[in-house]
Structures are given as structure tokens and as C-alpha cells.
Amino acid sequence: MQIYRSHVLICNDSTCAQLDSGKIMEEFGAQLKKNKLENEVKVLTAGCPGMCEQGPVVVVYPEGTVYTMVKPENVKEIVEEHLLKRKIVKRLLHKDMMEEGDTPAKALDDTKYFKKQLRIALRNCGIINPEDINEYIEHDGYKALEKVLTGMTPLEVIDTVKKSGLRGRGGGGFPTGLKWEFAYKSQDDEKYVCCNADEGDPGAFMDRSILEGDPHSIIEAMTIAGYAIGSKQGFIYVRAEYPIAVKRLDIAIQQAKEHGFLGENVLNTGFSFDIELRLGAGAFVCGEETALMTSIEGKRGEPRPRPPFPAVKGLWQKPTLLNNVETYANIPVIILKGPEWFASIGTEKSKGTKVFAIGGKINNTGLIEIPMGTTLREVIFDIGGGIPNGKKFKAAQTGGPSGGCIPASHMDTPIEYDTLVQLGSMMGSGGLIVMDEDTCMVDIAKFFLEFTVDESCGKCPPCRIGTKRMLEILEKITSGKGTEEDIEKLEILANNIKLSALCGLGQTAPNPVLSTLRYFRDEYEAHVKEKKCPAGVCKSMIHYVINEALCKSCGICARNCPVNCISGQRGEPYVIAQEKCIKCGTCMVKCPFKAIFKNV
């Protein structure tokens, strides 16, 4: 095996791939050749280290130097300076890697971004080449499977998972080991193991990152699950919108079979297990477990009532174990390092770590993995780098359209399953959207409701008609036509839909409204009583005015107005015709004298 003195890891996840990481890869090849370094430096495709906003990301080892926002034209400089002359290109460094003064080269793990993180599920993402099974094997890959198949009984495996305290990472947080036990206890000639990779929350991409960066960990975990519950067939239900994930899973399944980790007679133990991919057509509701299984069966993806639970009657009425991607990603490590190790991380009732996709009004957007119990404050201010433009933090939304908003007053609450539910939100799959003072909470509730209305399957009336009526009321309120009675109706609908809807999607659909009503009722009231949007977002309740004293009648506003509603002449202040104004705000941005104001 050839020894290289340096390794260059280039992220080739969906985000970075869109930003030309392929070209960067080629350029590295060319530049290394040109400098005769091709036998000293190895260039590798890797999964995602998480800093998606800063992509494309290039990491140079052994230093662990992280270059961000790299463009193909920067490659020459990195090769000539860093790899040839061993001088770090400070200009391209990740901003957290610069220390006080001018000495760079803090290790990646010491940056603020990574310091409070603990990567278990994401352990291999950004470190190994996901298309090469040997790299996974070098990083302890398939050792857990070997350990299970050669030295553990199914019950011992289940007991290990139970003892670890691992809970479902896809939404509700049901104890994983218990789920495995139920599936184990259901007697049938056929059983199935399913992986829910139908990640659908707006802005969430935790599962995609794992599938793209470490597909073998899912295959290994599912095979372990198959052994534990007594199943021979697995299905991964993955979104068709994740083409890279699908491709890498395909490659990984193929390689695993070739290496004897999957298929007939796994590792010569007599145990057989196979995995098939099923592509989802983009319906959010297919992330709900019963709808997912219905979809795998080839039918219209709609939930069905539970019980019977999948562990008793799932796919084709057979006992079925269903976990999500991140849950599975934890399994091999738990097996190898032991349940006690895993249970030592996190809080009393929420063990291990959780991956979040942080976005919205925050400086460092991207993917992070934190121990359970980390506070929202740490996530937003330490890892996330705070709110841009010196704005105030207002709330964080977790759990996607099923979750709720957590206000600034609860920022020090530790993040764990039960505390989030108590706050009216939920862990969900890990979307975390940060909102600053310029966010209208009624508008946010409307945004999520629009999503749910769009994604309702239409089976039960509370969701099909109820969420639509809620959205109509929110539209009325945000357009300045709401009444106090509307808020009341909104609450009646929300509370009843929560109790009556058929599936989890419908039952949690009112959460964004309920949680904003709980913490920001004054904003709703301002909309209906005073016809004001305090955050200045709802267009029907704001208007732009030109301050006569400040206006220099330059006419720039009028020239930039897309609907020609500003008029005036030299020497006189300009005027906005309010009835024509579409409230786009262009004039205010363009005015060189800051003479235009938004009135709330």
C-alpha cells in the first residue's frame, strides 16, 4: 500500500457538488501532476463535514486544515503554497480556524464550530470515501456485524440496543430497543427491516448527509437488525430527490454483497439478508411509517390507523421493523463501544447525540451533531456563531412542520425529547430554524401550515379540510382582515385536529400555530386588533413613506420602483402612491439618503 504524506478530502455532497466540487477535484489532479506531487498527495472524495454554507469544503490532512468556499481557480494556490511550500493559505481558511493574532492551524476539532459537537452518527462523514467499502472497513466498518453474527444471540443484540437508551431519531423518540423487541417477538414466517430515508422536513438534510457520506453504516445496521429480529429482507425507502444518496447506496449494497457482508450466507455464518431500495416520489406523508409501508407495497402513500403496529402487521401484513437513517447510524458504534458508553452521553432520558440541520437567521448554517442536553443557546451562539447583522434572537423552530417555536426565554433549556415536547415543540428529525426579531410569528405559522396543507394526503377530514381552514384564517389575519373570533376559531381547530386526525402528520400539523399562539399571542392580537404586524413582515399592514425633509429628489427610488408608483420632480420631495405600491421595499434599499422608511 502506498503511503502518502498528505491527503486532500473534497466534500462531494449534494450542496458542494452543486458548487462545482467535481471541477475542484479535477483541478487538484492537474495541479498535483504539474507540481509532481501525485505520488505524495492523495485526493479523495468525502462526505459532508457539515459546514454546508461554507462549501465547497476542502480539508487537508494531516494538518486538518479546512478551506472553505473554494473555487477551482483557488486550487493552484493551495497546491503551490500549502502542499508544496507547506504554507497555509490563510485567505481561504475556515473563519473559526484563525486564532487571535495571525497564527492559524487550529485543529478542526478545536474550532468553535466543532468544539461542542460530538460526531457519532456522522462519524465517518467527510472522513471516508463513501464509494469505497475498504475505507469504511478501515474505520471499523462491519466489525459490529461480525461481532453480532459470531458472538451474540438476537436477544443479546436487542438487549444491547435497549441498554444504550437509543430512541428513534426520526420524530417521536420511541425507544429503539423496545421496537426491536416487539418485532422480534412477533412470530411469522416472514419479517421485514425498513429504513425510513424519506427525509422531508423543509431544510432538513441530516439523513441525506449520512446516506451520501457513510452509506455502509446503514447497511451494516440494518443487517444487524435483520439478525436481531429474524428477518431476511430489508428495504430502504429513500427520496428520489436524493440522487447521490441513491447512487451511493446502490454502490454500497453492491460492494457489501461482493465482500460477503450482505446477501446469502453473510460472513459464512449461515445468516442471509438482502436489502432493496425503494424510491419515494416526493410525498412528505410517506415519511409517516404506515404511509411509507403502503407506498413500498406499491399503493397510494397514505397512512392507516394503528394498531396494528408495524411490529405486528407491517409491510404486506408481516411484522416489520422501521427505523430512520440516523437511528441506524448509531447502531454499529453502540455494538462496538458498548451500551454503557452510549448511555453515558446525553441526559437521563435522552441518550447519545442528535444531528441538527441549522438554518435561518444564523451565521453558521449547516449540519451539526451535539450531545443530548446541549442548550439551544450553545447551539445558536457557540456552534452557530450567533445571529447575523447584530439582530436579536427571537425563536428557534424545531421539528419541522410538526414542531413548534421555542422563544428566547427558553434558550437555556437542554435539548432533549421530553423538554422539547413540554415546550410545545418536538425533536422531530432535526431541522432547526433560527428566527430573529424581524420574523413575524404569524407568518411563520402560516408558512408551516402552507406546507402541511400541501402535503396532506387527503384521507381524514380533520387534516384535509381542517388544516386548510386554519390556513385560510391565517391568511385572513396576515392580510389585515382578521378578527378576535378568528384567533378563537384557530384554537378550536388546532386543538381538535390534534386529537382527531388519523396520523402523526395531521395530529402535529397544528403545532406551529399552537406554539406561536402560546408564546407570541400578542403578535396575533396586534394583527387582528390593531391591524399591525409588529415585525413588519405582513405586507398588507406595512407601508413605505418618503421623509420629506430627507428627500433630495434625486429620483433613484422612482427609477427603481417596479410598478412605477413613485413620482415627483426636481426640487420637491417624491411621493409614493400607496394604492399602487406592492411593498417590495426596493425604494428603501436603493435610496442613497436613507429617506425612505417602512411604517409598521
Partner 1 sequence: MKMVNIKIDGKELQVPENYTILEAARQANISIPTLCYLKGINEIGACRMCIVEVKGSRSFQAACVYPVSEGLEVRTQSPAIREARKVTLELILSNHDRSCLTCVRSRTCELQKLAEELNIKDIRFNGEMQRKPMDDFSPSIVRDPNKCILCRRCVSMCKNIQKVAAIDTVERGFDTIVSPIYNLSLNEVPCVTCGQCINVCPVGALREKDSTEIVWDALANKDLHLVVQTAPAVRVALGEEFGMPIGTRVTGKMVAALKQLGFAKVFDTDTAADLTILEEGTELINRIKEGGKLPLITSCSPGWIKFCEHFYPEFLDNLSTCKSPHEMFGALLKSYYAEKMGIDPAKMFVVSVMPCTAKKFERQRPELASTGYPDVDAVLTTRELARMIREAGIDFKSLPDETFDDPMGEATGAGVIFGATGGVMEAALRTVADILTGKSNEDIEYTEVRGIEGIKEAKIKIGDLELKAAVAHGLGNARKLLDRIKSGKADYHFVEIMACPGGCVNGGGQPIQISEVRSVVDISKERAKAIYEEDRDMPIRKSHENPQVQKLYKEYLGEPGSHKAHELLHTHYAPRESYPDIP
**Interface positions with partner 1 (CB under 8 A):** 283, 298, 300, 304-305, 307-308, 453-462, 464-466, 468-469, 472, 489, 492-493, 496, 498-502, 507
How long, in residues, is the chain?
600
User: DSSP character for 136?
Assistant: H
CB 33 within 8 A of CB 76: no
Q: How far is the CB of 300 from partner 1 (least distance, A)?
A: 7
Rounded distance between C-alpha atoms, residue 245 and residue 254, angstroms: 14
Cell of 481: 382582515
Q: How far is the CB of 302 from partner 1 (least distance, A)?
A: 8
SS3 content of the chain, % helix, strand, coil (to 5): 45, 15, 40
Q: How far is the CB of 410 from partner 1 (least distance, A)?
A: 22
Q: How far is the CB of 460 from partner 1 (least distance, A)?
A: 5
Q: Tell me how far CA of residue 85 lies from CA of 62, 81, 273, 307, in angstroms.
A: 15, 5, 51, 66
Of the two residues 96 and 201, which places its CB atom closer to partner 1 in the complex?
Answer: 201
Of the two residues 236 and 453, which places its CB atom closer to partner 1 in the complex?
Answer: 453
CB 497 within 8 A of CB 460: no
Q: How far is the CB of 308 from partner 1 (least distance, A)?
A: 7
Measure CA of the first residue to CA of the last residue in the chain; give whole Å.
Answer: 68
Of the two residues 297 and 438, which places its CB atom closer to partner 1 in the complex?
Answer: 297
Rounded distance between C-alpha atoms, residue 143 and residue 220, angstroms: 9
Of the two residues 232 and 498, which places its CB atom closer to partner 1 in the complex?
Answer: 498
Of the two residues 387 and 457, which places its CB atom closer to partner 1 in the complex?
Answer: 457
Q: Identify the three-state secondary structure at position 455.
A: helix
Q: How far is the CB of 480 from partner 1 (least distance, A)?
A: 18
Q: How far is the CB of 454 from partner 1 (least distance, A)?
A: 6
Phi, psi of 587 (to 5 degrees): -60, -40
Q: How far is the CB of 9 from partner 1 (least distance, A)?
A: 42
CB 511 within 8 A of CB 449: no
Of the two residues 60 and 494, which places its CB atom closer to partner 1 in the complex?
Answer: 494
Q: How far is the CB of 485 from partner 1 (least distance, A)?
A: 9
Of the two residues 186 and 353, which places its CB atom closer to partner 1 in the complex?
Answer: 186
Of the two residues 157 and 493, which places its CB atom closer to partner 1 in the complex?
Answer: 493
Mutual orientation of helices 206-213 and 243-258 as an angle, nearest 10°? Answer: 40
Of the two residues 154 and 504, which places its CB atom closer to partner 1 in the complex?
Answer: 504
CB 583 within 8 A of CB 543: yes
Q: Identify the three-state secondary structure at position 597.
A: strand
Rounded distance between C-alpha atoms, residue 323 and residue 179, angstroms: 9
Of the two residues 44 and 457, which places its CB atom closer to partner 1 in the complex?
Answer: 457
| Whether the bond into 407 is cis, omega within 30 of 0 | no
Of the two residues 29 and 305, which places its CB atom closer to partner 1 in the complex?
Answer: 305
Amino acid letter for position 498: K
How many C-beta atoms lie closer than 10 Å to residue 22's C-beta?
Answer: 16
Q: How far is the CB of 321 from partner 1 (least distance, A)?
A: 21
Q: How far is the CB of 455 from partner 1 (least distance, A)?
A: 7
Rounded distance between C-alpha atoms, residue 290 and residue 300, angstroms: 11
Comparing CA positions, the residue from 159, 246, 262, 149 lying closest to residue 197 is 246
Cell of 277: 431500495
